[in-house]
Amino acid sequence: MIRRSSRLTGGRLIRACLLATALSVPAGAAFAAKQLSVPATAPTADTLSPAQIDLQWEKRGAKHVSDVAAELRQVEQGDGQGPFRPDWASLKTYQVPQWYADAKFGVFIHWGLYSVPAFGSEWYSRLMYTKGTKEYDHHIKTFGPQDKFGYKDFIPLFKAEKYDPRAWAALFRAAGAQYVVPVAEHHDGFAMYDTRLSDWSAVRMGPKRDLIGDLARAVRAQGLHLGLSSHRAEHDWFFDEGRKIPSDVNDPRYADFYGPAQLRVKEKGSDDADVFGDFTPVSQAWLSDWLARSAELVDLYHPDLIYFDWWIGHPAFRGTLPKFLAYYYNSQAKLGGSAIVNYKIGAFPEGAGVLDIERGQLPGIQPRVWQTCTSISNDSWGYVENDTYKSPQALIHLLADVVSKNGNLLLNIGPRADGSIPQGAQDTLMAMGGWLTVNGEAIYGTRPWRQFGEGPTEVASGSFQETKTKPYTAQDFRFTTKGTALYAIELGWPAEGEAVIHSLKAEDKVKAVTLLGTGGGTLTFRQDADGLHLTLPQRPAGAIAAYVYRIEMQ
């Protein structure tokens, strides 16, 4: 359990932590290194306690203590002004905004320093310090040893010289997306926005530009909704492997960038997603800093949606999350805006936000709106060289399946370090947009039918299960409804010139059937005991095998 003080907040809390830690632990790494003539980059995993590690981080960020304290006071004030209290009982009364339930499709953007090495995945920042990984070996071979060239040294190479937020926003609109969610800060701790709580940001370093602010304006100019993603929670430990080798993570001068880098403590056999088998130290000072930075995003950009990655589900966050949620929900309500928070399984009680399933799906129709997120590319969320892309057809099939179960699809792209979007990603988005231009009425603003679909292809449910789904067939249908229309999306073209929808029986009394994309003519049909039989015309144009029948009932 985390001890919490009801009155000791902000600057007083951090100063108290500094004083208490200084009185209870030996001198820090910088002093010890000086006394023993040990290089500042020497390994510290075996020489520093969690309290010393945290003190090192707090000292380097001391210049921002007053700003953190001011943000925390604002959160405390905001928590008491609005329809929500900072407790789970109140937060479970949250209702999903109508626009989000109607939107169905959004674009996620992983763009940051990790796009400079463009190798492995967006976890390059961690794995370049992890012995035995391909990223570790690649880094030494390409850039040099980690005590000579660390992750921070990618910052000057991150220039974003081709970044055109208006072109990005126009592409996303053409793709049919209704909301856009750039990563404001990834696990690496580099803020892509104009934070006043850290010097390590794209405004002060690298591009020297508010990358998030520029995109926010462009997205809203296109009539799209803005979301933001924060992965800062994981930064508590993300660089811990750098403490085990000679690296700049050990140098106290960079502690405010690399974060506490607390040594990860996990139960044997547990994976990264298992936060309940995770006993990594999390200080109250870190939780307060996380809360301040999350609230700052709300204050600066008033996003319609905030996406959090999995580690906010760690038990240490249980007392802090309600403070943020109440602040965000109340702040947006005061402005007349929307507020949506995407969370992973176990982080929130049901109903307090919108559940997100990463690279996976849920079984059957869900009573609450949910979301799946996946990347357009196969190997990484961020840009890496020689990556491959999912086909537009596979993504449209995924979209149809998710929407039929009351879900949304958040599809990620990874721009290059210069700000250009790879042509393969652009082509895929435009192909999806082309399909949605013709068939979007079966997606946008729809709701589930009495069953989500029919057919032989089963979808593996759960996170990280997407590769287990087999290709769909012409016998697979997914259903949606809007008004008086039922939409049946056939995920293949039948070779016999006839489609049979077994879920529609004679008693359903079909009045008319139209195949979208064929000029609006109605189809000949008959209703038998085994279902609705449709006589089909020549196969419609288009490379995506997903065909929409609008069915009017009597």
Q: Which strands form 531-535's sheet, in the order they lie side by side? A: 498-501, 531-535, 524-528
Q: Using an 8 Å Cβ cutoff, are 293 and 230 in contact?
A: yes
CA distance 129 to 145: 10
- Determine the pLDDT at residue 310: 96
Element (H, E) at 166: helix 165-174
CA distance 123 to 46: 24
- Determine the pLDDT at residue 549: 97
CB under 8 Å, gap of 24 or more: what pairs does 468-473 form?
472/397
Tell me: the pLDDT tens digits for 243-293?
999 999 999 999 999 999 999 999 988 888 889 999 999 999 999 999 999
The CA distances from residue 268 to 52, 69, 105, 277, in Å, are 25, 38, 38, 8
CA distance 395 to 384: 20
Q: Which residues contact 321 (CB under 8 A, 6 or more apart)?
A: 312, 347, 348
Q: Using an 8 Å Cβ cutoff, are 497 and 474 in contact?
A: no
> Which residue in this structure is represented by tokens 């602040």?
327
CA angle, corner 29, sides to 24 and 32, nearest 5? 95
- Determine the pLDDT at residue 15: 38
Q: Using an 8 Å Cβ cutoff, are 186 and 110 in contact?
A: yes
Q: Using an 8 Å Cβ cutoff, are 426 and 504 in contact?
A: no
Q: Look at residue 351 and give its three-state secondary structure.
A: coil
- Determine the pLDDT at residue 544: 96
CA distance 338 to 100: 9
CA distance 532 to 355: 35
Q: Residue 411 — left, alpha, or beta (φ > 0 → left; ψ -120 to 50 → alpha)?
A: beta
Cα 406 off chain centre by? 19
CA distance 226 to 366: 25
Q: Using an 8 Å Cβ cutoff, are 306 and 297 in contact?
A: yes
Sign of dihedral through CA atoms 424, 425, 430, 436?
Answer: positive
Sign of dihedral through CA atoms 215, 217, 222, 228?
Answer: positive
Q: Using an 8 Å Cβ cutoff, are 412 and 110 in contact?
A: yes
Which domains does the chain possess?
61-439 (3.20.20.80), 473-553 (2.60.40.1180)
User: 293: which 2 tokens?
Assistant: 């930075």
Q: Using an 8 Å Cβ cutoff, are 114 and 125 in contact?
A: yes
Q: Using an 8 Å Cβ cutoff, are 369 and 359 in contact?
A: no
Q: Are strands 485-490 and 531-535 parallel, antiparallel or unpaired?
A: unpaired
Q: Which strands form 453-454's sheet, in the order they lie side by side? A: 453-454, 477-482, 485-490, 547-553, 510-515
pTM score above 0.95? no
User: 304: which 2 tokens?
Assistant: 């319609």
Number of other residues whose CB lies within 10 A of the CB of residue 469: 17
- Determine the pLDDT at residue 464: 67
Which H, E and C letters describe 424-466, residue by residue?
Answer: HHHHHHHHHHHHHHHHHHHCCCCECCCCCEECCCCCCEECCCH
User: 68: which 2 tokens?
Assistant: 């953190």
Q: What is the DSSP letter of 249?
A: G
Q: Which residues of the chain have pLDDT under 70?
A: 1-36, 464-465, 467-468
Return phi, psi of residue 179, to 5°: -150, 155
Q: What is the DSSP letter of 389?
A: B
Q: Are strands 524-528 and 531-535 parallel, antiparallel or unpaired?
A: antiparallel
Bridge partners (DSSP) of residue 370 are 407
User: 288: which 2 tokens?
Assistant: 């307060």
